[in-house]
């Protein structure tokens, strides 16, 4: 079995063939590991996630997901985007079912035709994240924390081996943010790899084993998350 869930080698990316927003990124993340990605605004965290999910293609370098460089493993990456990417006019349940699109097919997802077993699975995940009673509520009626839970359930619906969570609790109060992080760690299987992008050093220290530090599009270091403190990273954020 391949050791690394994610392996990037010499990845460069430029949105406009001009300035590089990712510069020579080397990254190896072991299966089942919990990794935080920290760095100031604009340092390239979201871009890196989009490269891992294959929403963006690097200008050069290689991206391996579970040892494969092809698109095959794409659906094994569950992505919780910074802005969550939920369909506000659809219900929580319908949003979670979107996570099953690789099994149902695009047309089925578009037409809202879902096999019974997928609906049952979606309800199971909504139950796990604690909002099954709101399954039939439209997303625009839900609170920020409830939306965050829907986004987790949608990612789980992909039955992912790798979960990328992009600052997805940053708009919540700290108590709710931690409650949601605790829940995600509890749900995460032993073999599920979790990568969180965050500005919050305390969150990185408490919810990851290793922290990768980004600045100006480059990976400038890696540290054991237990050793993280404001002093160690003050240069990164100034
Ligand atoms: N489509 C685009 N065209 C031009 N520049 C872009 C595009 N997308 C991102 N960038 C630039 O790439 C850089 C990295 O952006 P990115 O969103 O990856 O940063 P980030 O670390 O996620 O920041 P934040 O913490 O604010 O979310 C920024 O300077 C941004 O302006
Ligand atoms: Mg970002």
pLDDT above 90: percentage of residues in the chain: 55
Q: Nearest CA to 54 among 74, 34, 35, 79?
A: 74
Residue 203's alpha-carbon distances to 73, 103, 156, 183, 229, in angstroms, are: 29, 34, 21, 14, 11
What pLDDT score was predicted for residue 102? 80
Q: How far is it, in rounded angstroms, from Cα 142 to Cα 226?
A: 35
Query: In a mutational test of the pocket of ligand 1, which residue from 45, 52, 220 has the highest number of ligand atoms less than 8 Å from its CB?
Result: 45
Pairing relation of β-strands 162-166 and 193-198?
parallel
**Burial class of 72 by CB neighbour count within 10 A (0 to 12, 13 to 18, 19+):** exposed
Dist. CA 46 → ligand 1 center (Å): 7
Taking the CA of 166 as reference, the closest ligand is 2
Nearest CA, atom 19, ligand 1: 42
Query: What does the pLDDT look like over 148-176, one tens digit per residue?
Result: 999 999 999 988 889 999 988 888 888 88
Does the 33-57+71-233 domain belong in CATH 3.40.50.720?
no
DSSP codes, 174-221: HHHHHHHHHHHHHHS-TT-EEEEEES-HHHHHHH-SEEEEEETTEEEE
Query: What does the pLDDT look like over 194-234, one tens digit per residue?
Result: 999 998 899 999 999 999 999 999 999 999 999 988 887 87
What pLDDT score was predicted for residue 82? 85
Query: Would you state the structure tokens that stand for residue 67, as one six-digit string?
Result: 């040892």
Q: How far is it, in rounded angstroms, from Cα 154 to Cα 143?
A: 16
What pLDDT score was predicted for residue 75? 66
Q: How far is it, in rounded angstroms, from Cα 237 to Cα 43?
A: 10
Query: What does the pLDDT look like over 86-129, one tens digit per residue?
Result: 999 999 999 999 888 888 776 766 666 778 899 999 999 999 88
Nearest CA, atom 29, ligand 1: 42
Q: Give the three-state DSSP class for 6.
A: strand
Nearest CA, atom 8, ligand 1: 15
Q: Where are the alpha helices (DSSP H) in 69-115?
A: 92-98, 101-104, 106-111
Q: What are the residue ranges spanned by the domains of the chain?
A: 33-57+71-233
């Amino acid at each position: 079995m391949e050791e690394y869930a994610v392996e990037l080698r010499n990845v460069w990316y430029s949105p406009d063939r001009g300035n590089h927003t990712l510069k020579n990124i080397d990254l190896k993340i072991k299966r089942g590991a919990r990794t935080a990605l920290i760095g100031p605004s604009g340092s390239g965290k979201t871009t890196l996630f989009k490269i891992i999910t294959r929403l963006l293609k690097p200008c050069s370098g290689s991206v391996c997901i579970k040892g494969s460089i092809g698109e095959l493993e794409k659906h094994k990456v569950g992505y919780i985007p910074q802005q969550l990417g939920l369909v506000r006019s659809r219900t929580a349940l319908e949003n979670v079912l979107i996570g099953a699109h690789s099994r149902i097919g695009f047309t089925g997802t578009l037409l809202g035709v879902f096999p019974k077993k997928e609906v049952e699975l979606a309800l199971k995940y909504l139950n796990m994240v604690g909002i099954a009673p709101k399954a039939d509520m439209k997303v625009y009626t839900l609170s920020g924390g409830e939306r965050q839970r829907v986004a987790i359930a949608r990612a789980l619906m992909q039955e992912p081996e790798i979960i990328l969570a992009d600052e997805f609790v940053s708009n919540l109060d700290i108590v709710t943010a931690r409650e949601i992080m605790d829940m995600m760690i509890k749900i995460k299987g032993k073999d599920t790899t979790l990568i969180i992008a965050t500005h919050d050093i305390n969150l990185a220290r408490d919810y990851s084993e290793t922290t990768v530090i980004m600045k100006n599009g480059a990976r400038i270091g890696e540290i054991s998350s237990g050793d993280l403190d404001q002093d160690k990273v003050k240069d990164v954020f100034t």
